[in-house]
Amino acid sequence: MTDSKIFRRLTYGLYVISSLKEGRINAQIANTVFQITSAPLIVAISINKENLTHEYIQNSKVFAVNILPVSTPLEMIGHFGFKSGRNLDKFGEVAFKPGQTGSPLLTSNSIGYLEAEVIQSTELSTHTVFYGQVMNTEVYSDEEPMTYGFYQQLKRGTAAPASPAAKSSRSEQAEKAESIKKENLIKEGPTMQKYECPVCSYIYDPEKGDPDSGIEPGTAFEALPDDWVCPVCGVDKSQFQPVD
């Protein structure tokens, strides 16, 4: 007997894997980064074949692993982890510098990176495991790395964002959203106001409801049960923001 819930007991970090192809750059979130050997220094990453980053790594045979700090905002994880470079330029508004391999290296929300050249790969069903020989590294800071577990807590609203800046901007946003919700309720009762998920940009549209989660069309956001979560990425209801 197997139960995939056991996978939730495995521990991981959270990384932005970047690469390039013919002068274009892209990156994605991955938790599957692990050291294989220390002499030589070899790491492995497991990348979904459908991702643009997969196409780039397969083509250029290089990648970088940017290590996220515990203070990384959810929005940043959403930007690299729930959107594809096929639909937007992910580095349009994100600070980076080119690495020795040409892969983009984050210059904020990163505590360091390693760059690697692919020496071997294994195709396994939906994913390719790329093995990379590390050829360049840099440590930016001693800040604690983000873990997959902490990211899950942030999404559920059960952990406070680690950085004071993130904390205050999130609490200001939460207060603003809360006051708009209250105003709407007092003035008009439940409204047809749309709300957006800060991580994956899913929009809750009251006209459509969320039938897959048992929410009927016509259900106002304010009337959603407290335990309702984003149907795409699982973010807690309290994190949603009204759409202007």
Ligand X SMILES: Cc1cc2nc3c(=O)[nH]c(=O)nc-3n(C[C@H](O)[C@H](O)[C@H](O)COP(=O)(O)O)c2cc1C
- Name the token pair of 232: 């795409």
Backbone angles phi, psi at 83, to 5 degrees: -125, 155
Per-residue x/- track, 68-107, ligand X (CB under 6 A): ---------x---xxxxxx---------------------
With contact defined as beta carbons under 8 Å apart, do 95 and 108 qualify?
Answer: yes
The conformation of residue 61, written as its DSSP 8-state character, comes to: -
Dist. CA 66–CA 45, nearest whole Å:
12
Nearer to ligand X, 151 or 195 (CB): 151
How many other CB atoms are there within 10 angstroms of residue 108's CB atom? Answer: 11
Q: Please identify which residue in 32, 133, 163, 241 interacts with ligand X, judged by CB under 6 A.
A: 32
Cβ neighbours of residue 5 closer than 8 Å, sequence gap 6 or more: none
Q: Minimal distance in Å, beta carbon 151 to ligand X?
A: 6
Cβ neighbours of residue 67 closer than 8 Å, sequence gap 6 or more: 13, 15, 110, 111, 112, 113, 145
Nearest CA-CA partner of 143 in 75, 79, 80, 67: 67
Q: Please identify which residue in 20, 43, 52, 166 interacts with ligand X, judged by CB under 6 A.
A: 52
26 lies in the site for ligand X, by CB under 6 A: yes
Q: Binding-site residue total for ligand X (CB under 6 A)?
A: 21
Select from 1-9, 43-51, 116-124, 217-225 the region that touches ligand X (CB under 6 A). 43-51
Dist. CA 238–CA 244, nearest whole Å:
17
Q: Please identify which residue in 13, 20, 53, 240 interacts with ligand X, judged by CB under 6 A.
A: 53
Q: Minimal distance in Å, beta carbon 34 to ligand X?
A: 10
Q: Where are the beta strands (DSSP E) in 31-85?
A: 33-38, 41-48, 62-67
Select from 45-53, 96-104, 109-117, 171-179 the region that touches ligand X (CB under 6 A). 45-53
Residue nearest to ligand X (CB): 81
Q: Please identify which residue in 13, 20, 51, 181 interacts with ligand X, judged by CB under 6 A.
A: 51
Per-residue x/- track, 143-162, ligand X (CB under 6 A): --------x-----------
126 lies in the site for ligand X, by CB under 6 A: no
Q: Which uninterrupted H or E stretch holds 78?
A: helix 74-81
Q: Please identify which residue in 20, 25, 43, 47 interacts with ligand X, judged by CB under 6 A.
A: 47
Nearer to ligand X, 53 or 219 (CB): 53
- Name the token pair of 116: 């690697």
Which residues would be at the binding site for ligand X (CB under 6 A)? 14, 26, 28-32, 46-48, 51-53, 77, 81-86, 151
